[in-house]
Amino acid sequence: MTLTLSPASPPPASLQPQGWLRYLSFSTDHKVIGLQYLVCGFLFYLVGGALAGAIRTELLTPISDFLPRETYNEVLTLHGTVMIFLWIVPVVNGAFGNYLIPFYVGARDMAFPRLNAVAFWLIPPAGLLLISSYFIASAAQSGWTAYPPLSLTTPATGQIIWILSVLLLGGSSIFGGINFIATILKLRRPGLKLMQLPMYCWAMLGTSILVVLSTPVLAGTLVLLSFDIIAHTGFFNPSLGGNAVVYQHLFWFYSHPAVYIMVLPAFGLVSEILPVHARKPLFGYTTMVYSIMGIVFLGLIVWAHHMFTSGTPPWMRLFFTIATSFIAVPTGIKFFNWLATLWGGKIALNSAMLFSCGFIFNFVFGGITGVALAQVPFDIHVHDTYFVVGHFHYIVYGGTVFVIFASIYHWYPKVTGRLLNEPLGQLHFLLTFIGFNLCFAPQHWMGLNGMPRRVAEYDPQFELINQVSSVGALLMAISTLPFLINVVLSAYRGAPAGDNPWNALTPEWLTTSPPPVENWHGEPPLVEEPYGYGVEPGELSLAATSGREIWAVGDPDRKP
Amino acid sequence: MRIPAAILTLLAGMALVLTGLWVGQNINLLPEDASLNAPVYDELFKVLFSIGTILLIGIAGLIVYSLVRFRRVNGDHGDGVAIEGNLPLEILWTAIPAIVVLFVGIYSYDIYERMGGMAPLNDHSMHAMHGDAAEGRTWAGISPVAQGADASEPTLPVEVTAMQFAFIFHYPEADITSGELHVPVGQPVALTMKANDVIHAFWVPQFRLKQDIIPGQPTLLSFTATKAGRYPIVCAELCGPYHGGMRSTVIVDEPQTFADWVAQNSPAPAPAAPTAIQS
Amino acid sequence: MTSLSSSPDQRREALEPQVGEHQGAEHHGDYRMFGLATFLVADGMTFAGFFAAYLTFRAVNPLPSGATYELELLLPTINTVILLVSSFTFHRAGAALRQNDVTRCQRWLLITAALGFSFLAGQMKEYFSLPFGLTDNLFASTFYAITGFHGLHVTLGGLMILIVWWQSRRGGRVSNGDHFPLEAAELYWHFVDGIWVVLYGILYLL
């Protein structure tokens, strides 16, 4: 008797987009969402960079001769807002966080995948809304800080659009924060303890706590500001009985933690990159965790160091000086730990490592000027000058953006399955490092000697040094080219990377490049020692270390 | 036999500290100082600059040294040494920054006090010096003069109005209104500042003093100029499209020159008032 | 989960919509309540910002002459009691559901919704009886902003209760065993109640 099997019915036509179309869809896959955040964020980076180019072009001469004055103020407002809310916060949190965290906790996806997709899809409309305000009416022109009464007297439409856009972006950030906290605390695979997590998880946990606690305060403040603009209430309008300084307190209660929201994830990413390319464990895991928590706690109680000239009482200024100064201690610990991770290693001088080392140098520079700014008497002279502009660009660009680049060089092989071109990457690093320092180092001198910020015209004594700074900015713009060429060409012609080109130990490297939809074929691996690099003391003639099992990562014949 | 690494490190450290101290004392990044509190500020700056130089060169040196000394040789697929921590070392590099930061904080408090920044607001001496009545609260102020103010030293009160996009100076005693701030050398000046529209800020880089002028909040700022000359007054808070052009000048004169200026600019005495309108 | 004969595309497709829900109660417990609780922390911080602003305004900004911080207390106190009782009735609804008595649960839900909407009615009555409007002075503006924001939350909560009631009809999600909508709505309602207690203390009693 023959048995006739009816042919399997063809699979139903897929309702899910396939291939690259997934990246334009409402996908709930954390890897897709992570890349959506990354590419979208990078596009806004280019927009923000163009705005910066306009600023540096205006500043080539001491008079206002490039843009109409109102337009210049719109440009500087949009530059800050775009860079913070549409580039850095979404990328270090949303892009890398979403891509990596599920791998690190041994999960197939984030805790709330649909919330994740919603959080991402808030960003493009909010960003387009913000940028379109420039073309609709006029964009906001009171700076990204939107201090009243100025923000109450400039054209209302642009300011309201700005408020709406920031509210949407803040909401996106909060949804992301909720997702990260739940995933890290609740979704760890069985057997994986908190103190076995890669450091990036701790960094994202701390960051998400800051997001959840501080972003809502900004939302409430902007709602009150919008009432002042639309309904003519007087919350922050002194002529109606209100208080402009209360706005500053509320605004900075979020916006100071915001800088840690921009920087802590970068700290986490560096902690992942350095051990792999130095072939050594991350130094001081436990103190790194405590430092992150210390920074989170202190970060919430230092906001008024942005207000030292606003008429706060002397005791308040003193408190905030001391508290701000203390953040240098846990931050310093992290930097010494990274240096100790490099020390005695076998350091590969590749692009990821170069950008990481550039980060260390730049951030230490920015941190030094930060400790100086924390001191009230010092700040009195340099508040609202180019000294501050120099300081924070060393932190956000020299710090976080350098880490973003390092991370792209590090994880591109995992995401695409191909290696980036190393010589192009090193050229990218050189141009970026030189251009960046050339642009922002002179700005400290400008501020010390009398140039305020947010101006299109300045004392002619600053003309030459401004031109030097603008040349640096041009170099930074040019440096984007080798990077873009590299990223695009390598996607098609890069050398195949294999599963684990860096011989790394964290879970994302223990699967294919690119990973499958379910992250691993089979069970998620349990990695109890994510930084288990290094050889036993007996094999090297050095001072004793803790005895531990060898993970023969160095053996080229052994499969990871 | 090679020189022990510990000795080389000690020498490098000493060279580093000496370099930092030298840089702080000798490389001048600031404009000239023209007020009583400016040299106090500069002291703090030099200390911060020294510490910063030491840190930056030290860390940059460590990075470069590591990248050179510990670079991976081609073909070496081995790992570095598996050191995961060193508690005594970590305690050391926690304690030292904590002490440095604490020292800097306390030192800067002392500097701030000497600059007059700790003057309590709503203090009688502040009001007395600034001449205005005790109407409403005092909101802000650096009052170097309040600290150890000599009762015999007369202060020169000036009312400053900040508006989009100019500073207007009014001398209540002489009834002069001017677009520039004239002050005599060596005499304490007490500025009572108000803003008409949005937040502005009064900044004289050569005095190392800055104060935001916030609408609705009377603001006090005092200083004593020490060098004759013309110095810029810069608005240091975004106040609109002409923010960059909102500048003035403080002209510090010798006392006699100042007195002449006052005399020349005071309004003429009013003619005898008519007793009735003659039709 | 996947059949041996399916193609990679089929497998991927079969998995993709489920990847999000695959890891769930069997390993980790239901963390949706945890997510909601985190969200409520964030929401609470918005109110915290408003309260901080209010207290600072009170400490620092004088009211124009004639204006006062005094408020009529009878109606708001009744409203407070209504809200507190509604938390209790919501709790009863949850208890009933856990005992699988869906009918009793629905009854308690409707009572809670009724109490919630009468709170809102009371709030409206209070608004119309107040001597000041939104822009009259700083206290007035802050009062309406904070109570209005809270009232918005009550409205959303009331709608959520009605949705849960709908989902607990025969064949609905809640009556079929998924208690999450009710538990979530209940937690949210207790949160809104808690915020009101703080608001009542700060705005009305202080």
Cross-strand bridge partners of residue B35: B225
**Strand pairing partners for C121?**
none
- Is the CB of residue A231 less than 8 Å from the CB of residue A539? no
**Cα–Cα dist A470/A53, whole Å:** 8
Whether residue A514 is preceded by a cis peptide bond, meaning omega within 30 degrees of 0, is yes
Inter-residue contact B196 to B161 (CB < 8 Å):
yes
Contact state of A72 with B198 under an 8 Å Cβ cutoff: no
- CA dist., res. B33 & res. B31, Å (int): 6
Both tokens assigned to A163: 């408020």
pLDDT bracket for residue A553 (50, 70, 90)? very low
Q: Residue B142 — pLDDT band, cuts 50, 70, 90?
A: low
Cis peptide before B165 (omega within 30 of 0): yes
- Nearest chain C Cα distance for residue A108, angstroms: 7
Q: Please compute the mean of the pLDDT values over residues A148-170 and round it to a whole number.
A: 96
Mutate which of A287, A337, A346 to disrupt the B interface (most B C-beta within 10 Å)? A346
* Candidates A71, A455, A541, partner chain B, best to mutate (most B CBs within 10 A): A455
**Among A108, A181, A217, beta carbon nearest to C23:** A108
- Give residues with Cβ within 8 angstroms of B87, minimum separation 6: none
pLDDT for C165: 93
Beta-sheet strand order (sheet of B209-213):
B181-184, B247-253, B229-235, B200-204, B209-213
Q: What is the pLDDT of residue C62?
A: 82
Q: Which residue in chain B has the smallest CA separation from A548?
A: B82
Give the per-residue pLDDT at A274: 97
Q: Which of A227-236, A290-299, B126-135, C160-169 has the lowest mean pLDDT?
A: B126-135
Q: Which two tokens stand for residue A494?
A: 């890069």
Q: For residue B162, is it within any domain?
A: yes
Q: Is B232's CB within 8 Å of A540's CB?
A: no
State the Cα–Cα distance between residues B251 and B231, nearest whole angstrom. Answer: 7
Neighbours of B184 (CB within 10 A): 21
**Measured distance CA(A341)–CA(B84) in Å, rounded:** 8
In C134-153, the residues whose Cβ lies within 8 Å of chain A are: 134-135, 137-138, 141-142, 145, 149
For residue B153, is it within any domain?
yes
Q: Are residues B106 and B154 in the same domain?
A: no
| The predicted structure's pLDDT at residue B129 | 52
Count of residues for chain A? 560
Q: Where are the alpha helices (DSSP H) in chain B?
A: 5-26, 38-69, 87-115, 124-130, 255-265
pLDDT at A1 over 70: no
Give the whole-angstrom CA distance, residue A277 versus residue A265.
Answer: 19
User: The CATH number of the domain where B206 resides is what?
Assistant: 2.60.40.420
Q: Which of A314, A357, A457 sits opposite B120 (nearest CB)?
A: A314
The answer to whether the CB of B144 falls within 8 A of the CB of B224 is yes
Tell me how far apart the alpha carbons of residues B186 and A502 are, in angstroms, rounded to a whole number. 68
Architecture of domain A33-541+548-553: Up-down Bundle (1.20)
CB atoms within 10 A of CB A438: 18
In a shared domain, residues B198 and B259: yes
Mean pLDDT in residue range A485-497: 95
Query: Do B141 and B102 share a domain, yes or no?
Result: no
The shortest CB-CB distance from A216 to any of C9, C43, C145 is to C43
Neighbours of A192 (CB within 10 A): 20
Q: What is the overall mean pLDDT for chain A?
A: 92
Q: Which residues pair with residue A347 across a beta bridge?
A: B71
**Which of A298, A378, A426 is the best mutation test for B, with the most CBs of B within 10 A?**
A378
**Which of B114, B148, B179 corresponds to the end of one domain?**
B114
A351-374 helix and A422-448 helix, angle to the nearest 10 degrees? 10
The predicted pLDDT at position C113 comes to 96
As a whole-number percent, the residues of chain B with pLDDT over 90 amount to 67
pLDDT at residue A66 tops 50: yes
Residue A254: how many CB atoms within 10 A of its CB? 25
pLDDT at position A558 over 50: no
Q: Would you call B70 exposed, middle or buried from its count of C-beta atoms within 10 A (0-12, 13-18, 19+)?
A: middle
Token representation of residue A71: 């337009």
- DSSP one-letter string for B256-274: HHHHHHHHHHSPPPPPPPP
Same domain flag for B160 and B101: no
Residue B87 lies in a domain: no
pLDDT of res. C206: 86
State the pLDDT at residue C5: 47
Residues B230 and B164 in one domain: yes
> Is B233 a domain residue?
yes
Place of tokens 């700083």: C138
How far apart CA C158 and CA C156 sit, in angstroms, is 5
C201 interfaces chain A, CB cutoff of 8 Å? no
| Residue contact B214–A336, C-beta within 8 A | no
> Tokens in use for C129?
């009886």
* CB-closest option in B76, B111, B205 to A450: B205
ipTM (interface predicted TM): 0.91
| Nearest neighbour of B242 by CB, restricted to A69, A238, A555 | A69
Give the gap in angstroms from C-alpha A340 to the nearest C-alpha of chain C.
36
- State the Cα angle at B242 between B238 and B245, rounded to 5°: 100
Best residue in B55, B81, B217 to probe A by mutation, most A CBs within 10 Å?
B81
Q: Is A109 in Cβ contact with C23 (below 8 Å)?
A: yes
Q: Is the pLDDT of residue A386 over 90?
A: yes
**What chains are in contact with B, requiring at least 3 Cβ pairs below 8 Å?**
A
Question: Which single residue is written with the structure tokens 């006029």?
Answer: A138
Same-domain status, B139 and B110? no
The pLDDT confidence band at residue A144, using thresholds 50, 70 and 90, is very high
A554, pLDDT greater than 70: no
The tokens for A465 are: 């040094």
How many Å lie between the alpha carbon of C108 and the closest alpha carbon of chain A? 30
Contacts of A524 in chain C (CB under 8 A): none
Which whole number is the average pLDDT over A367-382? 95
For B63, the domain range is: 5-70+95-114
Does residue B172 sit in the same domain as residue B207?
yes
Domain contains B37: yes
Residue A534 has a pLDDT of 86
Domain-embedded: residue B161: yes
**Inside any domain, residue B51:** yes
Percent of chain A clearing pLDDT 90 (strictly above)? 88
- Its sign, for the CA torsion C83, C89, C91, C94, is negative
Which burial class, exposed, middle or buried, applies to B209 when counting CB atoms under 10 A from its CB (0-12, 13-18, 19+)?
buried
* Chain A residues near residue C22 by CB distance under 8 angstroms: 108-109, 518
- The pLDDT, as a whole number, for residue B270 is 65
Mutation pick from B79, B87, B110 vs chain A, by most beta carbons of A within 10 Å, is B79
Provide, for chain C, the percentages of residues in helix, strand and coil under a 3-state DSSP scheme, each rounded to the nearest 5.
Answer: 75, 0, 25
What is the full per-residue pLDDT of chain C (206 aa) written as tens digits? 434 444 555 444 444 444 444 444 444 567 999 999 999 999 999 999 999 999 999 998 888 887 888 888 999 999 999 999 999 999 999 999 999 899 999 999 999 999 999 999 999 999 999 999 999 999 999 999 999 999 999 999 999 999 999 998 888 888 778 899 999 999 999 999 999 999 999 999 98
Q: Mean pLDDT for chain B?
A: 87
Does residue B258 sit within a domain? yes
Q: Is the pLDDT of residue B257 over 50?
A: yes
A216 closest CB neighbour out of C29, C42, C56: C42
Does B66 share its domain with B104?
Answer: yes
Q: Are residues B162 and B257 in the same domain?
A: yes
pLDDT band for A117, please (50, 70, 90 cuts): very high
Q: Are residues B180 and B240 in the same domain?
A: yes
pLDDT of residue A313: 87
Q: Based on the domain organization, do B202 and B109 belong to the same domain?
A: no
Q: Read off the DSSP letter of residue A418.
A: B
pLDDT of C120: 97
CA distance A476 to A470: 10
pTM of the model: 0.91
pLDDT tens figures, A267-317: 999 999 999 999 999 999 999 999 999 999 999 999 999 999 998 888 899
For the segment B7-32, the average pLDDT, to the nearest whole number, is 95
Which residue did the predictor score with more confidence, A79 or B147? A79
Do the beta carbons of residue A507 and residue A106 sit within 8 Å? yes
Comparing A553 with B190, the larger pLDDT belongs to B190
Whether chain A has a CB inside 8 Å of the CB on C2: the answer is no
Measure the CA–CA gap between B77 and A554, rounded to whole angstroms. 5
**Chain B closest-CA separation from residue A77 CA (Å):** 11
Tell me how many domains chain B contains.
Answer: 2
Q: What are phi and psi of A529, to 5 degrees?
A: -130, 85
Q: What does the pLDDT look like over A411-449, one tens digit per residue?
A: 999 999 999 999 999 999 999 999 999 999 999 999 999
Q: Are residues B144 and B247 in the same domain?
A: yes
* Tokens 């990377």, residue located: A497
Q: Do A154 and B240 touch (CB under 8 A)?
A: yes
pLDDT digits over B163-219, tens only? 999 999 999 989 999 999 999 999 999 999 999 999 999 999 999 999 999 998 888
> Chain A: residue nearest B98 by CA?
A329
Q: Longest C-alpha distance within chain B, in Å? A: 114
Which residues, 6 or more positions from C12, have their beta carbon under 8 angstroms from its beta carbon? A516, A517
- Kindly determine whether residue C38 and residue A215, on different chains, have CB atoms separated by under 8 Å: no
Q: Tell me: the pLDDT tens digits for A502-549?
A: 999 999 999 999 999 999 999 999 999 999 998 866 665 343 333 333
